[in-house]
Amino acid sequence: MARRIDWLLGSGQLSIRAIVDPADVGFSVEAVLWVQAAPQHVEALGQHLTRWPEVRYAAAIAGTSQLLVNIVTPSHAALYLLLARPVWAKYSQHVRTDLIHSARASGAVACAPPTRSSCSS
């Protein structure tokens, strides 16, 4: 069994994904940022965001905002400091912040212990 699992992992046919609640590791404040930026600044701002440990997810989108960013910070003070970074003034026109106050579904499937039938989502 161990050799088979090693082979599946090594061949890329199996991967392990751990889902951790950010609050469990000290990041208790979560927010969604809706960023308006000029087209010529979207790529540069996106590159900056990929290097920030607070950023869980960032995507270029269409509409009134050009970037959607999900962030987590250890405190509201840390969120403020993140939003005060000079990169925002350099590359964005407006940043709207929506705090997330309760947990949302993580995509995990809850089911009874394994039987012959499988769980469905």
pLDDT at residue 93 in the model: 95
CA gap 64, 84 in Å, rounded: 22
Whole-number mean pLDDT of the chain?
83
**Between residues 11 and 23, which one has the greater pLDDT?**
11
CB 38 within 8 A of CB 26: no
Helices of type H across the chain: 2-11, 39-49, 76-83, 86-91
CA gap 69, 60 in Å, rounded: 9
Backbone phi, psi, residue 99, to 5° = -75, 145
Q: What is the pLDDT of residues 84-112, one digit of tens each?
A: 999 999 999 999 999 988 655 555 554 44
The three-class DSSP label of residue 56 is strand
Q: Please, what is the end-to-end C-alpha distance for the chain in angstroms?
A: 27
CA-to-CA dists, residue 28 to 33, 76, 78, 82, angstroms: 16, 9, 11, 15
CA gap 46, 40 in Å, rounded: 11
Residue carrying structure tokens 């970037």: 67
- Residue 121 confidence class, pLDDT cut points 50, 70, 90: very low
